[in-house]
Structure 1
Amino acid sequence: MARRLISPCQGCGLLNAGFLGVFSSSHYQRLPLSSSSRSSPGKNCSANRANLRKEASHWTSSASSLSLHSLKLVNKRTTCCVATEPPPAATEEPEMDLPKEIFLKDYKKPDYLFDAVDLQFKLGEEKTIVTSKIAVSPGTEGNSSPLALHGCDLKLLSVKVNGKDLKSEEYTVDSRRLIVSRPPAGIFNLEIITEIYPQLNTSLEGLYKSTGNFSTQCEAEGFRKITYFQDRPDVMAKYTCRIEADKTLYPVLLSNGNLVEQGDLEGGKHYALWEDPFKKPSYLFALVAGQLECREDSFITCSGRKVTLRIWTPGQDLAKTAHAMYSLKAAMKWDEEVFGLEYDLDLFNIVVVPDFNMGAMENKSLNIFQSRLVLASPETATDGDYAAILGVIGHEYFHNWTGNRVTCRDWFQLTLKEGLTVFRDQEFSSDLGCRTVKRIADVSKLRTYQFPQDAGPMAHPIRPHSYIKMDNFYTVTVRFCFLPISFQIPINMHAFFHEHQPSCHLSRVYEKGAEVVRMYKTMFGASGFRKGMDLYFQRHDGQAVTCEDFYAAMCDANNAQLPNFLQWYSQAGTPTVKVTSSYDASSHTFSLKFSQEVPPTPGQPAKEPMFIPVAIGLVDSSGKDMPLTSIYSDGILQAITSEDQSVFTTVLRFNKKEEEFIFNNIPEKPVPSLLRGYSAPIRLDSDLTESDLFFLLANDSDEFNRWEAGQLLARKLMLSLVADFQQQQTLSLNPKFVDGLRTILRNTSLDKEFIAKAITLPGQGEIMDMMPVADPDAVHAVRTFIKKELALQLKDDLLATVTSNRSSEAYTFDHDSMARRALKNTCLAYLASLNEPDTTELALNEYKSATNMTEQFSALAALSQNPGQVRDDALLDFYNKWQHDYLVVSKWFALQATSDIPGNVANVQKLLAHPAFDMRNPNKVYSLIGGFCGSPVNFHAKDGSGYKFLGEVVLQLDKINPQVASRMVSAFSRWRRYDETRQALAKAQLEMIVSANGLSENVYEIATKSLAA
């Protein structure tokens, strides 16, 4: 009988619950530790094997209590992993002081394939027994390699091969693996029984219990916390799952696929048997058990099949699921119409979970969502919430084909499924709303999150070359889940993500990945892109594939070659493209000279030219697009045609270090409209003058570029005023800029939401990112000055806009209504910034008279810009009204956390002790702690108080949920962008974090890479 020392993962809950002790292969014996021994847990005991072996010999003969002070952890950095003392025949683990880095170049096909997986769960109040029966076949003929299975936080009860218990010398088990030394030749059956403790699992990975219900999160590497398995995406199998549980406590039992059997058992228990007929990797497995109620509907597919749709949630929230059901049905219809993709099962379930690391998860036929991405009512959710629910419901449903039916060979290929599916959900939302406004929002997000990170210490391509902890490539996707998705007002709610996007990996893998996919559509057109998608599914349905496979399908379907396009997958950094223009009146030609440079990034000092599609139009002096007939490039004259119709926009394929394009038959000097629709994820540096930009702001037919011209003018103005502020000069506003915004504001032909975005100033982080040394105090002061000056000079227009956009009609979620509210709220925020009695009273009246959360919360945010009794009273009133709704309370936390009011760190520290705050709930952590980092002047306070606050919180969080902690520590990743004083203060916090004993691999990876920059 072999006993094993279990040193639990930080966050699994075993340590804090006192369940650290000796585990036997035949029974569990709890040996509680003293409180002092819990203060320095050893997380990777393999690094201390010599010390542990002496203790283990004593435990074998005497089950005495243990103090970890007996472990001599001298000069060893311990990392998060359950460590087990192997049975006597086990092979000694190599000593590991530091986490292991995984490299793409080391990919190897699995030695064994899993053809079928039968899982059985016996859910209990103290423990859960998991039995897995796997049909195993060799990956290659004649393979005799050991079978290595991943595992974490598991108590192994038994291992059988072909029905026979393995002897201790026939397998080894350690903190990360179960290895069957000599598997049988050919096909065989493997049965493993494990014991797990979901109630103590605060990491929210694997199987865990939250608010009384069981739930799972297996992407990327959570399945190994359920049972020993080849937990990698290229091992695809058909699954069945039998769940047994108390019928009273857990009346609803859900898993993947179709429900094939259910019934009652003795002792007040019941069971459900689920079968998924499609192969899937382990990360797509899901289980939910609890007291839930459902909204049920149905969808008739294009082939006439009826699909039952169910959204499960606690009963009190059921009324808030109507919009999610509408979104699901809209997504199913859109995917059929646009891509010809039909749902493939008879049932589709969505489950709402309040405690969830991801924003949502696309498990086959059983999607699991964080509450705020499903639940919505006009009284409690904003237009932003409604729009996000539409997009995320669509995103997870679209994964059924782009991610589930065709999945990733390895996790380095994550952008293959996520970049493609983000692109698909962006197109879905664009088709159901305003395409220009959606494009502006997506590009703003890309620039806010991805561009700064691509210039920082965590820069990597959309397909990384290495990682330490795969979880760090995820967030609750920024797109999906950090600050409440409701902030549509021009106060600095999103600054946190501009400077400190909580997972520097995600925006590259997801958002930049989507831009790379979009470039295929830009070059091949909608029909060409559809042909490429069709070929991709035809070739790879049911397979785990690579980014090259998608590239090949696109090129082959369109009989095209895209030289150096694959550089987008392998090179980090944002290309900078410089453009100069010249007009030759004698030959009626217009020349554009392009040059590109990709800046050096960690590990990639030298870069090759990228393939960059540049959509372009030429605007004449009357503000009209010029017809484009032919272009001369690379020694070849090419006609620009489109089925005998005039062409006003064409796409230049720029793939060299330098290249010139000459347009023919141009009767007058034009103003070029460059990079229309933002056709490539680059930084553009052109020779457009200020006059050109004002001209494009007034006349460009491409609305994205019209908005872009205004943003360029605003950025130049802000940078100029920052320089004046730093030199203590008097600030003044360019009258032409004010007039330009006034013209936009008064233009009734423009979409109202477009106007709202066009008059919104760039964020503080965006401006700091353009400075050699970021100065948060100067940028904040300048942005505040411009905002108040605009409010003062445009006051009459702003007041008129607020008045004309009020409505007494009931709330509706449609573009016109959302656009009206967005414009009204933007103008109200400008007016409230004046902090004058009449404008404050206006905002207060809007707050009190609001009939929906969009207008009420926007009015509250407008009032909250200015410290004082009115602000305090409004915040208290809002909390008292909505304290029963945890999603609304999260908004309330975030609004206070992101405040630029001086010294706000003290208020945020008090809010940590608020009865409504829970450090174990990711959404509240993102709202309060992540939100605080969204205030540059407070997070980057000169005295270092913001840095100290975050450093302390990160260490506290790491013991509860390492994934969430790693997202928070990424706020430090660009610490070298600031002055020397701030650098020293931030560096000290990073060094403090790295030196902490028991640090998780998640936090360690982000913190050490930030320090090494």
Structure 2
Amino acid sequence: MADAVTAPRQPVHLADYRAPAFAVDQVELEFDLHPQATQVRARLHMHRRSAGQLHLDGRKLKLLEIRLDGEELGDNSYHVDEAGLTIYEVPDRFTLETLVEICPAENTELSGLYMSGSGFFTQCEPEGFRKITFFPDRPDVMARYRVRMTADAQKYPVLLSNGNKLAEGTENARNWAEWEDPHPKPSYLFALVAADLVAVRDEFVTMSGRRVELGIWVERGDETRCGHAMESLKTAMRWDEDTFGLEYDLDVFNIAAVADFNAGAMENKGLNIFNTAYVLASPETATDTDFQNVERVIAHEYFHNWTGDRVTCRDWFQLSLKEGLTVFRDQEFMADQFSAAVKRIADVRLLRATQFRDDAGPLAHPVRPASYLEINNFYTTTIYEKGAEVVRMYRTLMGREAFRRGMDNYIRDNDNSAATVEDFFAAMQAAVPEHNIWQILRWYDQAGTPEITFEETYNPTNRSFMLTLRQHTNPTPGQESKLPFLMPVTVGLLDENGNEMLEETLVFHQAEQNFVFSHIDKPPVASLFRNFSAPVKLKGQSRERLAFLAAKDTDLFNRWDALQQYASAALLEAVAAHQAGRIFQLDAGLQDAIAATLRQAPRDQAFTAEALILPSESLLADDMAVVDPDAIHAVREAARATLGAALRDRFNSMYWECAKVNPADHSGPAMAARALKNAALAYLCAAGDVPRAWEQFNQGANMTDTLAALTQLADKPGEKREAALAAFYDEWKDTPLVLDKWFSVQARANAPDTLARVRALTQHEAFDLRNPNRVRALIGAFSTNQAKFHDASGDGYRLLADMVLRLDETNPQVAARLIAALGPWRRFAPARQALMRTELERILARGKLSPNTYEMASKALA
């Protein structure tokens, strides 16, 4: 069961940080594993660093024994409450031994030690270790761990933990194993697995010639779907050596996959624990996107070995120090594996669709928050994706070589310690002592997305071009006024034919700033923020300028972005016309731009597939003063249908040309061809060619094509839709990750009955509220369905609130994250505002509510 509160607990403030009063030198843990009553014996070898009583965090722990330096403590020597264990007097150096009992089988929060599938697993970030034993559970307490586990030999034959295995054996029908991690680590990186798993094994030879044993541990029967994950791991290990000079530092590297997991994966030192969704992949069960996600997440967690494990964060306010930095690293890795431009587009699309929206609403917070009530609520795209953009700005400002010197400084100066964003800044500044970049720290402490406007002046007399930039950031909760940000602005000047006259990166750090370019022979067109050089909103580009850039910009990202902005302007104009009762008419320039994009397809299929996607309904909503989801949906669907009909021959030709690719080929070019084929399929189906989707679905060439076809069929009520959904379910009902796709397709469908279907699916025998993947597949996916979630009846809001309240009783982490869908309630018309607010108030009216859900709901209403 989840913790509950009747009143809000006190927030934690960054300003109140104090170094720990006690350090832990060595941890010895003994686990006697039983589902209902696991006993954990902990010996903590500690010493005092400052005055004060010893307090150890602990939750839901039954204390059986407690000894100080071998002597049993009396009841008057310590106190246990719901927050942990306090010992009144201890010497300056001592060994504390405790024995506690916990119940993994009843741990539905999936934090700490819990059971899933064939055995025991842990998740300790951020505060799960305190549910295992009494401990100073904070990132800046780093210690070396030695672990011994015993478990039923038949039921749990595999026993894994951090570091290197020392010994193993069997006694009295129980297995035992001992592991030791030679590197100091915080408690949140502790990991344990005891289960009936099988391993897919390989090895990696490091750049210094050491052999590392690699193991991916999965449930029996899943071994055949681990090949891609293993190859991804080895590729990531080599890339980190080649790119950052970072070599793996243990004898073994293990990954264990678990079906019940609140996040994607966890970077525990030497024993990464993964959601099965990011390990298992085969052409029959996984889409191209799944294959790429497996590679990305495998790389991300491996890269944490240095940026997160060897160098961790001092406190949770510094969370982006490891997560933003490591996201940047996995973005660069993926860009090197596939198309760099398409990867950049995908990353920015995610940032705009999620983080920009958060920045504009009541849930906005800085990359380094000033306070939190529940740290689990701050695992957000602001911490991860916006944090990665800040790291990218460092590199853009410094240059690649200097950035690498800065990374070397950072690792060297902070190895085996807990660092802050100031430590990262100091390492970077030391690499470029000739430049003062201190102002970049404002990105960590100020929330909001800067809005940039510009003016251009060309002087033919002295052949100069002046660019004036202005920045403004709107108020966010607790921050009414903002100081100017430091940002790199990569600018390209183009002539009337699109030829590049120059490219330069400007340093923009004032509210208003002029930049003068000399020896410019003719009036240029400025391509601003190339490759999205800063996470900002660029305002004021005319439709004519956007059309020019979409057709002729030499920067692929800006070419895509110009087309997106042009399409947004055209569609929002059509939305206004729809609201006024006028018949939809497609903007001729938009049709020409899509046609031109199709003509360029042979040069770059991956880019073309991205460029063909119209701005999403949620992104269009972000640009409306008052969101009208019905009008947005009607216009976007009309635009897709009109384009599909007007360019039918071109889409058809493109479809058949791309269909020639081998269905089993998962190379970059093959994935690009399938993406373009299925983009064409979407337009053709929008124009009425549903039989094309039916034919592709029945071919069942691979999961990418099958799911793309099913997605189109799910939008169209009728016999084919029902037959396809039934056939898919019958084939994949026993494969959980594929069945998640079945739920998700229906939750995102544009069909008139989507809301009713989703409510019915919550009662389906295959829907399991205890499994986070299944909840995200149905409820999470539905909450992103702009038109259906925001049904005028308010039933979509009620459904979400019902799920939040049910989940809060068992898994408050997952429950709280669903509330974000109700956060932008103020941006809608009064009727929808009232309906959304009512559901938020209903959530808060619950007598006992977890801190996670309370914080998110109360902030949404604030």
TM-score, length of structure 1 as denominator length = 0.84
Displacement of 1:538 in angstroms is: 1.1
Contact 1:612 1:680 in 2 (8 A): yes
Paired residue secondary structure (1:316) = coil
SS of 2:539's partner is strand
| Aligned AA (2:426) | A
Once the two structures are overlaid, the 10-residue window that deviates more, 871-880 or 898-907, is 898-907
Equivalent residue, structure 2, for 1:654: 508
**492, 504, 525: which is aligned to 1:671?**
525
Q: Within 2, Cα distance between the matches of 1:556 and 1:214?
A: 46
Contact 2:272 2:301 survives alignment (8 Å) = yes
Partner of 2:844: 994
1:171-193 superposed Cα distances (whole Å, 9 cap, x missing partner): 00101120001111x21101011
1:111 aligned residue: 21
Matched, 1:131 2:37: no
- Give 1:808 shift: 5.9
2:577 paired with 1:577: no
- The offset of 1:659, in angstroms, is 0.5
Contact 1:833 1:866 survives alignment (8 Å): no
Q: Which residue of 2 aligns with 1:162?
A: 69
1:772-804 per-residue CA deviation (whole Å, 9 max, x = no partner) reads 111101100110111111001010100000011
Tell me if 1:984 matches 2:837: no
Q: Distance in 2 between matches of 1:558 and 1:799?
A: 54
In 2, the alpha carbon distance for the partners of 1:903 and 1:848 equals: 24
Q: Residue 611 of structure 2 corresponds to which residue in structure 1?
A: 758
1:974-1013 Cα distance to aligned partner (Å, 9 max, x none) = 111111111111111111111102211100000011111x
Query: 1: CA distance between counterparts of 2:28 and 2:660?
Result: 57
Match of 1:649, as an amino acid? Answer: E
AA in 1 matched with 2:90 = P
C-alpha contact 1:905 1:949 (8 A) present in aligned 2: no
More moved, 334-343 vs 174-183? 174-183
- Is residue 856 of structure 2 the alignment partner of residue 1003 of structure 1? no
Instruction: Quote the residue 1:935 is aligned against.
Output: 785
Give the superposition deviation at 1:622: 2.1
Deviations for 1:529-564, whole angstroms, at most 9, x for unmatched residues?
100000001111011010010011001112131142
Aligned-residue identity in percent: 47
2:230 to 310, 320, 325: 325
**Matching residue within 635, 640, 651 for 1:782:** 635
Tell me the distance in 2 between the aligned counterparts of 1:101 and 1:786: 48
Where in structure 2 are the equivalents of 1:173-184 lying within 5 Å?
Answer: 173-184=80-91
For 1:625 and 1:734, the matched residues in 2 are separated by 29
1:697-731 Cα deviation digits (max 9, x unpaired) = 11111000110110111010011011101111122
Matched, 1:190 2:96: yes
Secondary structure, aligned partner of 2:228: helix
The separation in 2 between residues aligned to 1:325 and 1:125, in whole angstroms, is 31
Asked if the contact 1:238–1:277 (Cα under 8 Å) also holds between the matched residues in 2, the reply is yes
Within a 5 Å distance, the mapping from 1:476-625 to structure 2 comes to 506-559=380-433, 560-625=435-500
**Does the aligned pair in 1 maintain the 2:163–2:179 contact within 8 Å?**
yes
In the TM superposition, 1:409-428 aligns within 5 A as 409-428=314-333
CA distance in 2 between partners of 1:450 and 1:859 (Å)? 30
**For 1:126 and 1:691, how far apart are their aligned partners in 2?**
68
Q: Is the 8 A contact 1:336 1:342 kept in 2?
A: yes
1:447 to 334, 337, 352: 352
Of residues 892, 898, 903, the one that matches 2:742 is 892
The amino acid that maps onto 1:662 is V
Call closer, same or farther: CA 1:587–1:541 in 2, change over 3 Å. same
Distance of 1:853 and 1:149 partners within structure 2: 49
Q: Separation in 1 of the partners of 2:786 and 2:662? A: 39
In structure 2, the residue matched to 1:240 is: 146
> Aligned pair 1:202/2:108, yes or no?
yes
SS at match of 2:500: coil
Equivalenced residues, count:
861
- Counterparts of 1:173 and 1:426, CA distance in 2: 45
Deviations 1:381-409 (A, max 9, x none): 00000000000000000000000000000
After TM superposition, give the deviation of residue 691 of structure 1 in Å.
2.2
Aligned-pair distance for 1:748? 4.3
Do the aligned residues in 2 keep the contact of 1:294 with 1:318 (CA within 8 Å)? yes
In 1, Cα distance between equivalents of 2:843 and 2:654:
50
The aligned residue for residue 704 of structure 1 is 557
Is 1:213 paired with 2:119?
yes
> Unaligned 5+ residue runs, structure 1?
1-7, 11-42, 45-76, 78-96, 475-505, 627-647
Q: Separation in 2 of the partners of 1:529 and 1:282?
A: 31
Secondary structure of the residue aligned to 1:419 is: helix
Q: Distance in 1 between matches of 2:353 and 2:590?
A: 23
Alignment correspondent of 2:190 = 285
Go from structure 1 to structure 2 and tell me whether the alpha carbon gap of 1:125 and 1:747 turns closer, same or farther (over 3 Å shift).
Answer: closer
CA-CA distance at 1:809 after TM superposition: 2.6
The normalised TM-score by structure 2 is 0.99
- How far apart are residue 868 of structure 1 and its match? 1.6
**In the TM superposition, what whole-angstrom CA distance separates every residue of 1:337-395 from its partner, at most 9, and x where no partner exists?**
00000000010000000000111000000000001100000000000000000000000
Cα pair 2:601 2:608 within 8 Å, conserved: no
Asked whether the equivalents of residues 9 and 153 of structure 1 are also in contact (C-alpha less than 8 Å), the reply is no
Report the CA distance between 1:903 and its aligned residue: 3.9
Counterpart of 2:240 in structure 1 is 335
- Of 805, 824, 827, which aligns to 2:658? 805
Equivalent runs, 1:314-393 vs 2, <5 Å: 314-393=219-298
The residue aligned with 2:544 is 691
Structure 2 Cα separation of the partners of residues 159 and 615 of structure 1: 61
Tell me which residue corresponds to 2:78. Answer: 171
Aligned residues: CA RMSD = 1.0
Letter of the 2:684 counterpart = L
Q: Which residue matches 2:776?
A: 926
Distance 1:180 1:941 in 2: 56
Provide the C-alpha distance between the structure 1 equivalents of 2:629 and 2:760, rounded to a whole number of angstroms.
24
What is the rounded CA distance, in whole Å, between the counterparts of 2:353 and 2:310 in structure 1? Answer: 32
| Structure 2, gaps ≥5 residues long | none
Residue of structure 2 in register with 1:874 after alignment: 724
User: Which AA in structure 2 matches 1:900?
Assistant: N
Contact 1:299/1:307 (CA < 8 Å) preserved in 2?
yes
Cα distance in 1 for residues equivalent to 2:853 and 2:542: 46
1:93 aligned residue: none
Where 1:1003 maps in the other structure, the secondary structure is: helix
Max radius of gyration: which structure? Answer: 1
**Structure 1: distance between partners of 2:753 and 2:788:** 7
Aligned to 1:820: 673
Q: For residues 226-255 of structure 1, give each alpha carbon's deviation from its aligned partner in whole angstroms, at most 9, with x where no partner exists.
A: 011100000000000000011101100000
**Contact 2:662/2:670 (CA < 8 Å) preserved in 1?**
no
Q: Which moved more, 1:289-298 or 1:563-572?
A: 563-572
Residues 944 and 985 in structure 1, CA contact (< 8 A), matched pair in contact too: yes
